[in-house]
Amino acid sequence: MKALKDLGFFLKLAHPDRWLMRLGAALAALTLLAGIGLLSLSGWFITAAAVAGLSGLGAVFNYMFASGGVRGFAMGRTAARYAERLVTHSATFRVLARLRLWVFDIAAPLAPGRLSSLRSGDVLARVTQDVDALDNLYLRLFTPLVAALLGAVFAAILLALFAPAALPGVLGAFLLASFGLPILAARTGQAPGKAVVTHAADARAEAGDLAAGLAELKAYGAHTRIIDRLDASSQDWVKAQRQLADTSVFNTAILALAGPATFVIGFGSAAAAGAPAALAALAGFIAFALFEGAAPLVQAGELFGRTAEAAKRLRELDTMAPLVAAPDAVEELKPGWAVELRNVSFSYPGADTPALDNVSLSLPEGARLALVGASGSGKSSLIKLLMRFYAPQFGEILLGGSPVERHLPAHVRERFALVDQRAELLSTTIRANLWIADPEAEEDALWNALERAKAADFVRAMPEGLATWIGEDGALVSGGQARRLALARAFLKDAPILLLDEPTEGLDADTEADFLDALDAWLDADERRSVLMVTHRAALLERASEVVELQHGRVVRRQEALFA
């Protein structure tokens, strides 16, 4: 069964914490055993004391021994339960933290190519909701199963010693409740559990779209359609949760009846075989206490569908092949910084027409190459190929004279810094946005990069300087400020090749002049540095040493030596 294979895969991911998980399971079993001991000894003690009192033997009955045992089991159960909670939750948090890192590790090579087929809200749901759902696997399946098995063995030994006639009936009822009922719960809860996961992901995706594009949606009156879809997903989500709740109510009622019924089975079987009243009571309370181990297994069955669907969705990420794979034999990059494309052709997955068709061009060290062309001509696609977000189907790209496919994509990206038209900024502080380029950069290096990007003055004027929070997607800074922060980030990275995708589009003349002055100063600081610019702006074209025009993915014109 594929669901079990998926769950087994994630159990293997917990291998580094296996001893902590085993300790937690052992403590859970100890808690159950102490509970069985407490309840069965208490039942025997009360019954035996009553019999002794009625028969006139109360004076010689050893109350101290039994009461001491009851206190010992009670204290032991409390201590074991507390320790079990500490250990199992610590193990689960460790496993889930590692699992989140695993998700990011497998998702990173898929971006942006493979992940572009998924909605951002759905990706977020997998990282958060689906990972959280897997705590059921560790807390509510593995640990209770071990505890229930050990509890059954312990109860069987006690019954075999003191009331063997009750053994078949008690164990049969327990097996039916702890395995038969969970299987039934898993089957009845599988469809609504799956629906809870999928509809929750849909609702989050719709909410994400609504929040991200609310202004535009309201401007065109389209926000009501998104709200309607969000409402439909939410209603389906609630409906699935109600179905799970109905299943849980039914199972709780069955367990509530099964516990006393099993007490009757244990007591009645032992008494019918001639056991004394105290031992019959002992058998009945052993059976009743044993049912504490069945309830978590039934709950695990109820959550099986949700857990299995979450595991399936995460495994889907793992089975996606990245569009740019690491080479089997990794080579070290050569020291050269020249870039060359030779007869490169590239089509996006599922596209009918190529984005680039037999393109050849070069960016030597120290060059300033400008790409021009209509929207959709392939300019941004070329930058994505250089950044190794995608790989061409035909032709090759050379970096320092070596084909890029021989090197790790991350190593290739170290040679490039990217500033695009959107100037992507994270919802955090200016400092944290700069640290993306160099997490170990000190304060002086950050300010130096800002100075070179002509951004230091407006950052100093902000309420908290580098610690200023800039809002969702940099909403609290202007477009020009965002562009200069992105340029500062590129300067901080200090990569030898700068890729600019419409970097000054929409900026006023003064802001554009500041941007270009900063760019010139950075390029002049090292004559080997180069820049590839996607632009239509005259100010940028004037700084180009070569202009290449693209149409429909093909090079149609080259013009040399515009830059003086």
* Average pLDDT rounded to a whole number, residues 543-558: 89
- CA–CA distance, 196 with 306 (Å, rounded to integer): 7
**Residue 63 pLDDT:** 61
Please tell me the distance from the alpha carbon of residue 286 to that of residue 162, in angstroms, as a whole number: 11
Cα–Cα distance list, 5 to 10, 274, 280, 288 (Å): 9, 49, 44, 34
The residue with greater pLDDT, 556 or 13, is 556
- Those residues with Cβ within 8 angstroms of residue 249's Cβ, 6 or more apart along the chain or in another chain: none
Q: What is the C-alpha separation between 125 and 202, in angstroms, rounded? A: 9
pLDDT of residue 564: 45
Residue 57 has pLDDT above 70, yes or no: no
Total length of the chain = 564
Helices then strands, counting H and E runs in the chain, come out as 22, 10
Alpha-carbon span 271 to 279, nearest angstrom: 8
Using CA atoms, how far apart are residues 382 and 392, in angstroms rounded to an integer? 10
Measuring CA to CA, how many Å separate 96 from each of 14, 23, 124, 552? 9, 18, 15, 47
Lowest mean pLDDT among 271-280, 324-333, 372-381, 433-442: 324-333
pLDDT, mean of residues 354-364: 91
Report whether 28 contacts 143 (CB < 8 A): yes
Q: Which is nearest to 17 in space by CA: 139, 187, 156, 184?
A: 139
Q: What is the mean pLDDT of residues 63-77?
A: 78
pLDDT in tens, 508-525: 788 778 878 888 888 888
d(CA 233, CA 199): 6
Question: pTM of this prediction?
Answer: 0.72
Average pLDDT, the chain: 83
pLDDT tens-place string over residues 211-269:
767 777 677 777 788 788 888 888 888 898 898 888 888 888 888 888 888 888 888 88
Residue pair 516/540 in contact by the 8 Å Cβ criterion: yes
Same fold, 2-193+247-319 and 339-560: no
Quick one: CA dihedral 337, 338, 341, 342, positive or negative? negative
Show the DSSP H helices in 273-303 as ranges.
277-290, 294-302
Fold (topology level) of 339-560: Rossmann fold (3.40.50)
Write down the pLDDT at residue 479: 77
Domain 2-193+247-319: which CATH number of 1.10.10.10, 1.20.58.1610, 2.70.70.10, 1.20.1560.10: 1.20.1560.10
Share of the chain above pLDDT 90, in %: 10
The reported pLDDT for the residue numbered 182 is: 85
Strands laid side by side in the 394-399 sheet: 356-363, 339-346, 394-399, 402-403
Whether 346 has a pLDDT exceeding 90, the answer reads yes
Using one digit for the tens of pLDDT, what is the confidence trace for 76-122? 889 999 998 899 888 888 888 888 888 888 877 777 777 777 766 77
Closest CA to 174 of 283, 88, 302: 283
Give residue 58's pLDDT band: very low, low, confident or very high (50, 70, 90): low
Domain ranges in the chain are: 2-193+247-319, 339-560
DSSP state of 429: B
**Contact of 455 with 481, CB cutoff 8 Å:** yes
Which range is least confidently modeled, 362-376, 498-512, 524-538, 543-557? 498-512
Torsion region of 378: left, alpha or beta (phi above 0 gives left; psi -120 to 50 gives alpha): left
24-38, 48-62, 129-143: range with lowest mean pLDDT? 48-62
Q: Which two tokens stand for residue 554?
A: 């093909």
Distance CA 35, CA 296 (A): 15
pLDDT at site 360: 92
User: In which band, very low, low, confident or very high, does the pLDDT at 137 lie, cut at 50, 70 and 90?
Assistant: confident
pLDDT score at 506: 67
The 10s digit of each residue's pLDDT in 447-485 is 988 888 888 888 898 888 888 888 777 778 887 788 888
Query: Residue 156: helix, strand or coil by DSSP?
Result: helix
For the residues 266-276, what does the mean pLDDT come to?
Answer: 85
Question: CA nearest 230: which of 210, 197, 203, 205?
Answer: 203
CA atoms within 13 A on the CB side of 425: 31
Which range of 24-28, 202-206, 213-217, 330-334 scores highest in mean pLDDT? It is: 24-28
Q: Where are the beta strands (DSSP E) in 173-298?
A: none
Terminal Cα distance for the chain, rounded: 69
Kindly state the tokens that stand for 224: 């009501």
CA distance 178 to 292: 10
Tell me which residue of 303, 364, 357, 299 sits closest to 337, measured CA to CA: 364
Q: Mean pLDDT across the stretch 112-138? A: 75
